Amino acid sequence: MTFASGRHSSRYGLRQACRAEWAKVFSIRSTWWTLFVTVVGTLVVTALSASSAAHHRPGWYQGFDPTNQSMSGLAIGALAIGVLGAVVFTSEYGSGTIRSSMAATPRRLKFLLAKLLVVGAVALAVGEGLTFSCFALGHAILGSSLVPPWSLTDPGVLRAVVGSGVTIGLLGLMGAAIGAAVRRTAGAIGIYVALLFLLPLLLTKMPGNLARFTPLIIIANSIAAVVRQTGFVSPVVGFVLFACYTVAIILLGAVVVTRRDP
């Protein structure tokens, strides 16, 4: 007697799991709200920040970095994208959906990987969309004729815009991995916010200038900077550090997901 349908691809895999996770992310309204807040919040802050830097006397623009100024709104985007990532896991643990998910995809690393791929793809797309929009908005407000020249073809500008978008993608992954490890929405968001905003504040009070190694400072002063600033790490070092943080947190999430039963 056969009950299963006749299709015979050998077994469930990443493709099936990703398809399901993609459908999950976009079948709840809160995703759209979070994305809305991410986009609007980021653009509003960039608009305000750029406006405050517009129409000054020429001397004011000594050492000014218009690309960096245009990326100001990313602080909001960084916060929101991490929350989005965290909730992808914590909402499953909170509602109990995690058990039907893991019954459907019992290989836990496969399950985790599918979720991370989906979150990463969404966050990266949102990140690049945001940074290019911020850049365009900055141009519209500040005008194109500033020093240093800041079209996308000028040195360092494209790197700053694309690189900043990538960090938003990585922050989405960090949020998701923290969510996988912590399981509770409030706890996960708390830890994420602490990592992003509280940690650099604490570290600036301490000797050693360690704040420059924290994620948000790396974005603001290394990756999104075209004019190299003293006292901060280079874009390449910043990017490597950022990637290492992301991998470390993902490994932590993977250990918890495989070791601790849902």
Contacting residue, 78, 84, 98, 188, with other proteins by CB under 8 A = 98
- Both tokens assigned to 73: 């709104």
User: Please, where are the H alpha helices in 143-184?
Assistant: 157-182
CB of 85 to other proteins, least distance (A): 16
The reply on whether position 109 binds other proteins by CB under 8 A is no
Candidates 102-110, 124-132, 167-175, 191-199 — which segment interacts with other proteins by CB under 8 A?
Answer: 102-110
The reply on whether position 19 binds other proteins by CB under 8 A is yes
The reply on whether position 184 binds other proteins by CB under 8 A is no
Separation between Cα atoms, residue 186 and residue 89, nearest integer Å: 12
Contacting residue, 44, 99, 194, 244, with other proteins by CB under 8 A = 99
The reply on whether position 107 binds other proteins by CB under 8 A is yes
The reply on whether position 206 binds other proteins by CB under 8 A is no
| Residue 170 near residue 195, CB atoms below 8 Å | no
Query: Between 49 and 101, whose beta carbon lies closer to other proteins?
Result: 101
- Per rule CB under 8 A, count of chain residues that contact other proteins: 37
Separation between Cα atoms, residue 175 and residue 187, nearest integer Å: 11
Q: ∠55-148-150 over CA atoms, to 5°?
A: 85
Contacting residue, 49, 105, 164, 222, with other proteins by CB under 8 A = 105
Separation between Cα atoms, residue 223 and residue 237, nearest integer Å: 9
Contacting residue, 4, 58, 63, 153, with other proteins by CB under 8 A = 4
Contacting other proteins within 30-89 (CB under 8 A):
30
User: Please, where are the H alpha helices in the chain?
Assistant: 14-25, 29-52, 66-70, 74-95, 97-104, 108-142, 157-182, 185-193, 199-204, 215-218, 235-259
Q: How many C-beta neighbours within 10 Å does residue 249 have?
A: 22
Query: Between 208 and 261, whose beta carbon lies closer to other proteins?
Result: 261
- Cα radius of gyration (the chain): 21
Query: Between 70 and 105, whose beta carbon lies closer to other proteins?
Result: 105
| Residues near other proteins (CB under 8 A) | 1, 3-5, 7, 9-12, 16-17, 19-21, 23-24, 27-30, 91-92, 95-107, 261-262
